[in-house]
Chains A and B, each alone.
Chain A
Amino acid sequence: MLTCQDDGCDGLWVLYTGGMLLVPAVTLVLSIGADSPSQWWADQPVTPVTPPAVEGDGWCRNDIDRFILARLEAAGIEPAAEADRRALVRRATYDLTGLPPTPEAVEAFVADTRPDAYERLIEDLLASPQYGVKWGRHWLDRVRWAETDGYERDRSKPGAWRYRDWVVEAYNNDMPYDEFITMQLAGDEIPDRDFSSMVATGFLHLGVRDDEPTDPETAIYDDLDGMLDTTCRATLGISMGCVRCHDHKKDPIPQTDYYSMLACFRGLKPYRQGYGNAVIPSHYIRNLPLDYGHEDTTAIERWVTKRDELRDAADTLAREALQKQGGATDQPDPSAAFRLPDSGLVKYLDFEGDPDICEAGPSGHALLVRTVEDSQTIDRPVEDDFTISVAFRPDADGRGSGDPRWFLGSGLVDGEISGIVDDYGISWFKGGRVTAGVGRPETFLHSPPGLTLGEWHYAALTRDRATGVVQLWVDGELVDEETGGKQALNSPEVLAIGRMHPGGNPFPGAIDEVRIYDRVLSPSEILAIHDSPGYGEDARTLVQQRLGDEAAARHDELVETRQQLTRPKAEVVDVLAAIEFGTEAPTTHVLGRGNAHSPEEEVHPAVPEILGGDRLPIVPPSHGDSTGRRLALAKWIVDPGNPRTSRVLANRLWQHHFGRGIVATPDEFGKLGLPPTHPELLDWLAAAVVERDWRLKDMHRLIMNSATYRMDSRASDDARRVDPINELFSRFDMRRLTAEEVRDSILMVNGSINTTIGGEPVYPPLPEEVLATASRPGAAWRNSSPEDAARRSLYVHVKRSLKMPLLEMFDMADTDTACPVRFNTTVPTQALTMLNSDLLNNQAMVLAERLQAESGDDPEAMIRRGLELATQRPAHPDDVASCLAMLSDLESGGLSRENAMRYVCLGILNTNAFMYID
């Protein structure tokens, strides 16, 4: 069980006492309680800031530079000179795409004499789809991106990659940040929700999840804690985790704040419940058509037109026969003239009974089901061959989610008995599907989703005992067919009409025309019931008698065409998405010491006291699926008046461009964090983000076009003395390539990179030694094709218990908690991997092959080209000489020219000039 002691909250006290003495926590709380919430800088409104006047205004390219230069002038140092063009293009290209420029792109930029050549470069890079791959990854660091749940089984998160793609696309489309945040928190609660906004809510399900927790109740709160803490750190710069157990030690954030915000997520259905190791996919996976929210209505209209044409044709044919003299009847209307099939009809319900609970249906009254009490029960009429047909008008969506299995739905005609027994039934399932099935072996049938609400539909289940074939028909169309068992289906004694047999889950709507036959009806008979008697056997007989065989064949053809007329449908896929209980959420209480079993006072969705403490205005969405709490939270977070959101965002943009934020603790803007080094600049940038309607690409333009961004990375002697750690941004800080950039650059330099955007994860080969560390070594990883294995690192499958060594070694983001700043370690095992791994040696060979293909057999030309590809500048003659010496030393050491060149290429990929960006 997770209790407070596991959270380390009290440990803060140790921190502030140097570990010398433990003093009761309450003392500390009192000493901090004196702070007024309104005093802290990060909680003050962002007010307009005028850039300071500077002496060297000629250096400034925009206002950013005035803030930077003012501090430098005060310190008495000059800003560094502008970086040379090659350094600039390399810096900007890595910064916006995570890839090196090609040597050709570098030379083109160097040769571009237009005054706005640099601005054009930035525009081109911002327009590249690789921009989203790089900047999307920055966001994924903050949200614990991984594609598995962790723990013993490390289950995969179905369709998680769609969320990753959504993030990349959002960046590429320059989605405004307010929308970006709102979609992730509440894409299911916005008025015009669609497939994409549903995918965005996958954000809520990215964390580690124990599928077999010791304490199931605590596990639910662990999950909610992850959502809350990740949200608060990423958007507000508040670490909430420690407030789970008791009031914050340093910032005035009481425990009630934590639970009031937690209440915003409380409506979400939990990952799992109770003991055991079963999870509940229907609580976090939606089955959605790819065009959800953008259905192709014209296709539906075309289908309706065609259906009506066919029916009219069948009716016309029947009418012709009726009107032809000499027949037994001369009634002109087929529906009045022909009987519906009655041979083998063993049960017929038309609900022409109590008018109080009935309303108009296809035949007079219908059964309106509002509660379980409205449902009816009949003795089981069939067990061998049968056809069960029912007319129904759904007024709301059905129960169930996950795989469409009939017994999870809302009952239409049902005889389910729990366990694997000889039963059968038809139900109405979430997403607008009809589902049906028979037991032993469990055999499931389902229609496509999206059946319209509020209209009458027909469903029929047929079963042929001799063959075991079962078919599901909806509105005259054969939608599914399976083969089940061949035994008598006699487990249920009775059938329920309008609910599931075990006693619950009523059908939300009206039911009529229940027809149960002890035989399998023909397609034309089913069409006669579902659509028009003109399709029926009686009509066909009359057509043949009066109009001849040719007309009868035409009738057969109409039946067949109609039976196969497929209702337009989109592919339905699993989407990791928010799913709530409904408009009401379980109550939320403050938990004493964070213990899930110690509920104290009840709380309601509200914002933290330091930011006003107001109750959030909750409006449940019209679809009735959820509480609206997350949408209210999102709206408050992205309100332009929220003093934290724009500052945190502006700081993050700065951080990723310059290597460290103006606030160096990007997810901690409270007292545990560092104060901003340039507070006015931060506020100016925060205001600029809002002015630009939260669009990030224009912020990149602003920042990258500053003189500050264009400075050289070398420090002058003065700067080194006065500003040794570059707190003033007197120069541009060098940086090492990130884990992903190391791998992607190797593939780029040797020309094998596959820059395809999006799609399912890829599985580049892993060393056998690494696979052997998994508890199921054979099942831990898959094998991608060589093309897929050369995809960018963003697309490599992120499995919590098994990571790609190269990426892990170079400090990829931790997957279990939000990663605000990546580590930057330098250890010898990195060198071992860069020198000895199969990955590097294979890629070095590919590079050698490329060099030979491009430069022939001249070793000097090959080396020159290799250095140029790796460092994106003309090869320095001394470096060429070193490489040539390496080549000749290796050759005299007994290696062939080819092998020696491969190791020279390996050497080039190991240079600091390749690994570091000026």
Chain B
Amino acid sequence: MTDCFSQPDGPRNTFCGQTRREFLWEAGGAFTSVALASMLASDGFLSSQACAADGLTPFGGPLAPRPSLVTPKAKAVIFLFMYGGPSQVDTFDYKPKLYPLDGKTIDVDTRGRGGPKSQGRIVGPKWNFKQYGQCGKYVSELFPHVGGCVDDIAFVHSMTADSPLHGSAMLMMNSGKVLSGAPCLGSWVNYGLGSVNENLPGFVVMLDHTGGPISGAKNWSSGYMPASFAGTVMRSSGTPILDLDPPAGLNRGNQRKMLDHLREMNERHRLSRIDNQDLAARIHSYELAYRMQEHAPDAVDVSMETEETRSLYGMDQERTRDFGRKCLMARRLVERGVRFVQIYSGGNHNDANWDAHGDLVKNHEYHAGNTDKPVAALLKDLKRRGMLDETLVIWGGEFGRQPTAEYAEGTGRDHNSDGFTMWMAGGGVKGGVSLGTTDDLGNKAVDRPLHVKHLHATILRQMGLDPNALSYFHAGLDQKLVGVEHVEPIHELI
């Protein structure tokens, strides 16, 4: 397949050997006019937009592999999304001074769904912490299995985000913007890198069995990019991808016969229209679809794994079976070249996810209990297969929770985007380190505050993309995942 970027010595104003304009019109006006304009107007423009927006590579073009521009550490990302917002002080951000304050009302500035408050009743951490690993990291007893992996994990305790409200915060964590309409992280990665396996989607999303997160498909949307960069929802039971299985009455052999005759007709149609490359592209897309039907079920067929592996992921236990299966599927997918896999823990509304407004203990026991073992298994399994070095695993929610109670009664905590914890493992990220701190209450980031954009920049950087160069021209603006101001990755961790 033609590689758009492998001609460093070519003339400055040519694009894959053609003038930009030739290239564009051969592409059949396949992308937004402004995207077009930017290419024409900017010699030496390093954007990968042209290829990505379909055209030169006539089929599967948008996802064709593209070489990284900086040396990649990771080949794939697995983002374990703890939707609803896990509480940092009850999970990985150890705050010993918070326990004795339990029940006391103190002055503290918080910002949650109830708006800004200046006073609140402290809810002490509801779980004890203990030290793990050589690094001696304190981890709550909610995560005994993940605790065993801390020497491979880099914790960021000083995360901040722009919004303490689910709708906009979800969009920010997934697309870098609180406003709707921008492409998601997985779209950017695939736009920048393409896929090395055309038989599988490049951006896979696995949702909780209770439903999608709020705003649904906006969380894996390709926004203003073509739909081919949108996330593909994959299910852990039944047909993994929508419309992957041939209809019940048509076996594979019969479908092949049908496709062969379809191809005859389409080739005949093309004969007198030979200069239209879209026709050839469409013919080829049917062959790719046929192959995808074979490869995608295989990719997610966890029955091919050993008993020991499935047990490691907790698939032999009721509580962990579902999330364990998804984590194992994720490993199999990245093994096969899928660039970006996102797994949701929690869906729907209220306590069906980590949004513990009422009973913190019940909520977090439930969600941590369902995911601790599978998450740890994923890290261990990747590591023993030598895949952890090139697979970046992210854990976290759209924000964290407050140290104070939301209501007069009970242990529920409101949202908190001013200081929360996320962690990364593998993909060239250092293990056994913790970066940044929140105050003694675990309320606001104080030392080395970091923003979602720094996390995104780090992910792109580890994938071999320059976060400050990867751009897509849209609506008169050169759009980037990390925004316009220069953003450094989190260097301490890589």
**B-binding residues in A (CB < 8 A):** 1-2, 4-12, 14-16, 18-19, 22, 150-154, 208, 210-214, 222, 229, 233, 239-242, 275-276, 659-661, 664-668, 671-674, 713-715, 720, 724-727, 733-734, 736, 767, 769-770, 772-777, 780, 800-803, 805, 808-809, 811, 814, 816-821, 823-833, 835-837, 841, 876, 878-879, 882-883, 885-886, 889-890, 893-895, 899, 903-904, 906-907, 910-913, 915-916, 918
Contact = CB atoms under 8 A, between A and B. Distances in A.
26 contacts: A6-B484, A10-B485, A18-B44, A150-B215, A151-B168, A275-B114, A664-B29, A725-B24, A733-B28, A769-B233, A772-B212, A775-B347, A777-B348, A816-B223, A827-B63, A827-B228, A828-B288, A832-B289, A832-B292, A835-B243, A835-B255, A836-B246, A889-B261, A893-B254, A903-B258, A912-B265
Contact of A879 (B38, B211, B265, B486): B265
A903 B477 contact: no
Contacts of A11: 471, 477-480, 484
Interface stretch (B136-144, B147-155, B267-275): B267-275
Interface residues of B, number: 125
B108 interface: no
Contact of B180 (A208, A660, A818): A208
Contacts of B251: 893
Contact of B478 (A15, A208, A233, A883): A15
B202 to A, nearest CB: 11
Given A210-B168, A801-B216, A827-B285, 6 more contacts: A2-B179, A210-B178, A242-B477, A780-B216, A836-B246, A895-B249
A393 B115 CA distance: 44
A222 B254 CA distance: 54
A-side binding surface: helix, strand, loop or mixed?
loop
Contact of A777 (B58, B211, B268): B211
B249 to A, nearest CB: 5
B217 interface: yes
A5 B485 contact: yes
Given A8-B483, A10-B484, A713 B249 contact: no
A775 B347 CA distance: 6
B53 interface: yes
Contacts of A770: 242
B278 interface: yes
B30 interface: yes
Given A821-B29, A825-B62, A241 B22 contact: no
Given A769-B235, A826-B278, A828-B288, A22 B257 contact: no
Given A229-B475, A890-B254, A899 B249 contact: yes
B168 to A, nearest CB: 6
Given A242-B477, A828-B288, A836 B53 contact: no
A886 B266 CA distance: 14
B407 interface: no
B289 A800 contact: no
A497 B242 CA distance: 65
Name, among A151, A665, A910, the residue most crowded by chain B CB atoms within 10 Å (CB to CB).
A151
Contact of B62 (A665, A821, A827, A885): A827
Contact of A801 (B43, B215, B235, B486): B215
B480 A714 contact: no
Nearest to A839: B243
Given A11-B480, A775-B348, A713 B273 contact: yes
Name, among B30, B198, B257, B261, the residue most crowded by chain A CB atoms within 10 Å (CB to CB).
B261
B101 interface: no
B26 interface: yes
B34 A239 contact: yes
B284 to A, nearest CB: 8
B282 A912 contact: yes
B227 interface: yes
B262 interface: yes
A668 B38 CA distance: 11
A294 to B, nearest CB: 38
Nearest to B222: A814
Contacts of B119: none
A912 B266 contact: yes
Nearest to A713: B273
Contact of A724 (B25, B266, B272): B25
B226 A214 contact: no
A690 B25 CA distance: 31
A736 B34 contact: no
B215 A775 contact: yes
Contacts of A837: 242-243
Contact of A726 (B25, B32, B58, B349): B25
Contacts of B63: 827
B262 A911 contact: yes
A193 B475 CA distance: 34
Given A713-B273, A814-B223, A841 B247 contact: yes
A674 B268 contact: no
Contacts of B217: 773, 801-803
A358 B446 CA distance: 67
A6 B479 CA distance: 9
A808 B227 contact: yes
B167 A668 contact: no
Interface stretch (B157-165, B356-364, B377-385): B157-165
Contacts of A775: 211-216, 347-349
B29 A660 contact: yes
Contacts of A767: 242-243
Given A8-B480, A820-B33, A882-B261, A831 B54 contact: no
Name, among A6, A233, A808, the residue most crowded by chain B CB atoms within 10 Å (CB to CB).
A6
A910 B262 contact: yes
A14 B471 contact: yes
A660 B32 CA distance: 11
Nearest to A727: B25
Contacts of A664: 29, 33, 36-37
Given A800-B218, A835-B289, A836-B244, A674 B36 contact: yes
A9 B59 contact: no
Contact of B181 (A1, A214, A817, A895): A817
A151 B265 contact: no
A410 B293 CA distance: 66
- Rank and list the top 5 A-B pairs by shortest CB-CB distance, nearest first: A725-B25, A239-B476, A816-B181, A11-B478, A152-B167
A823 B32 contact: yes
A820 B53 CA distance: 15
Contact of B115 (A276, A803, A821, A833): A276
A713 B270 CA distance: 12
Contacts of B106: none
A214 B164 contact: yes
B466 interface: yes
A22 B227 contact: no
Contacts of A275: 114-115
Nearest to B264: A882
Nearest to B63: A827
B196 interface: no
Interface in B92-107: none
Contacts of A661: 33
Nearest to A216: B115
Contacts of B176: 6
Contacts of A736: 278, 282
B366 interface: no
Nearest to A900: B254
A828 to B, nearest CB: 4
A831 B254 contact: no
B181 A829 contact: no
Given A767-B242, A883-B261, A8 B268 contact: no
B302 interface: no
Contacts of B253: 893
A876 B268 contact: yes
Contacts of A912: 265-266, 269-270, 279, 282-283
B21 interface: yes
Contacts of A809: 227
